[in-house]
Amino acid sequence: MLSKRWSQVKHSVLASGLLVACGLVFAACPKQGGGATDSGEQQNEAATTKPMGPTEAFIKGLCTGMASKFTVTDEGAAVVYEELRFTKDGSFEAATTIRLGDDPFECTERGSWSLDGDAAESKSSAAILFQMTETNCAGREAPFTFRTRATLNDDEVQLSHI
């Protein structure tokens, strides 16, 4: 009697296991007409992705671009930011030239930047506050603060005084 009962239990367990295995195989198959496919998953991600606002778009463009040949005047000397790069963490670094008369002196300045008013006016324009905190330029002292207008044009950042 015990062996007959054991035989029934084994068949029941095997049948249950087979049903579970079949269920897993069929669940993994994409359904016709509306199953989750790669393109369906991509469409769902695109639908739930928040569109980039003007401030986020401006910061992305600012941090992937570069400003060049921007001049700041400091006590009669021309301070030219030959190449100025921005980072998303709010810092900047500039390869700089100090022009006193005909003699150029190369140096580097670093510091932080922030959007004036904490927002961009558009995806391509914003007022920026600079706080230069480090310099190895002769005659320059940190900190030094100035404000500019940044305009994005492809990968070029154009700066102008405001």
Residues 33 and 100 in one domain: no
- Residues 60, 140, single domain; the answer is yes
Domain shared by 6 and 32, yes or no:
yes
| Residue 136 and residue 90 share a domain | yes
Range of the domain at 156: 54-161
The mean pLDDT of 78-87, rounded to a whole number, is: 94
pLDDT mean over 103-123 = 94
Same domain membership, residue 139 and residue 81: yes
Q: What is the pLDDT of residue 31?
A: 47
Mind spelling out the 3-state secondary structure of 78-123?
Answer: EEEEEEEEECCCCEEEEEEEEEECCEEEEEEEEEEEEEHHHCCCEC
Entry pTM? 0.66
Same domain, 102 and 157: yes
* Same domain for 37 and 99: no
Q: Which residue has the tokens 């030219």?
A: 80
**Confidence grade of residue 21 (pLDDT, cut at 50, 70, 90):** very low
Q: Comparing C-alpha atoms, which of 150, 149, 139, 155 is closest to residue 96?
A: 139
What does the block give as tokens for 63?
A: 């941090």
22-58: per-residue pLDDT in tens?
Answer: 443 344 444 444 444 555 555 555 555 667 799 999 9
Report the domain count for the chain: 2
Q: Do 157 and 116 belong to one domain? A: yes
Same-domain check for residues 30 and 103 = no
Q: Which residues contact 1 (CB under 8 A, 6 or more apart)?
A: none
Digit-coded pLDDT (tens) for 117-135:
889 999 999 999 999 999 9
Which alpha helices (H) appear in the chain, and where do they start and end?
2-28, 38-48, 54-64
Do 121 and 95 share a structural domain? yes
Quote the pLDDT of residue 74. Answer: 76
Q: Are residues 41 and 62 in the same domain?
A: no
pLDDT at 100 > cutoff 80: no
For residue 93 the two structure tokens come to: 């670094």
Q: Both 74 and 90 in a single domain?
A: yes
